[in-house]
């Protein structure tokens, strides 16, 4: 209660709330990557003209990207196209390194390209390691949530 009072005091002091304020609204979005769900939260406190307080709370939970399933052919084709682009750009950057040497790293764009390529290769390395290391019933790109904490206990 003390922290909430201090927060309201700060809002009052900085002019966000004054005697003319009739509505106080809080809205935020939370993403849970374990189950691939977004939750949108809206809370409204309204002071009516007769002096009563009306409180409204609304939460909406949704999975964005419900059009595609993780095993969809479109996703697979797009992943292959992106892999081909990364292979091409990796070849280009390696060729530049062999011709220009490491002085090409004096350009920020070259460092950014290298970090991008490194991050993408790291992503696929971890994805393949997960596919190899996890039990057979666990699919890496699945839309299903697996609670591994139960196995740890």
Helices and strands per DSSP (H, E), number in the chain: 4, 3
Higher pLDDT, 69 or 131: 131
For residue 29, the SS3 value is: strand
What pLDDT shows up at residue 67? Answer: 47
d(CA 100, CA 151): 52
d(CA 121, CA 94): 14
| Cβ 47 vs Cβ 36: under 8 Å | no
Kindly tell me if the per-residue pLDDT of 55 is higher than 80.
yes
Q: What is the pTM assigned to this prediction?
A: 0.45
Mean pLDDT taken over the chain: 80
CA dihedral 146, 149, 151, 153 (to 10 degrees): -160
What is the band of 152 on the pLDDT scale with cuts at 50, 70, 90? low
Q: Are strands 23-32 and 53-62 parallel, antiparallel or unpaired?
A: unpaired
What is the residue whose two structure tokens read 């697979």? 76
């Amino acid at each position: 209660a003390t922290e909430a009072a201090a927060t309201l005091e700060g809002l009052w002091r900085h002019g966000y709330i004054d005697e003319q304020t009739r509505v106080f609204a809080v809205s935020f979005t939370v993403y849970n990557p374990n189950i691939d769900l977004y939750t949108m939260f809206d809370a409204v406190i309204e002071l009516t003209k007769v002096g009563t307080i009306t409180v409204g709370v609304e939460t909406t939970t949704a999975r964005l990207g419900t059009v595609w399933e993780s095993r969809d052919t479109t996703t697979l084709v797009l992943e292959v196209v992106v892999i081909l682009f990364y292979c091409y750009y990796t070849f280009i950057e390696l060729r530049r390194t062999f011709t220009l040497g490491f002085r090409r790293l004096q350009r920020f764009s070259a460092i950014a390209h290298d970090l991008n390529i490194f991050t993408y290769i790291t992503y696929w390395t971890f994805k393949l390691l997960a596919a190899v290391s996890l039990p057979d019933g666990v699919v890496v790109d699945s839309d299903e949530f697996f609670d591994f904490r139960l196995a740890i206990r």
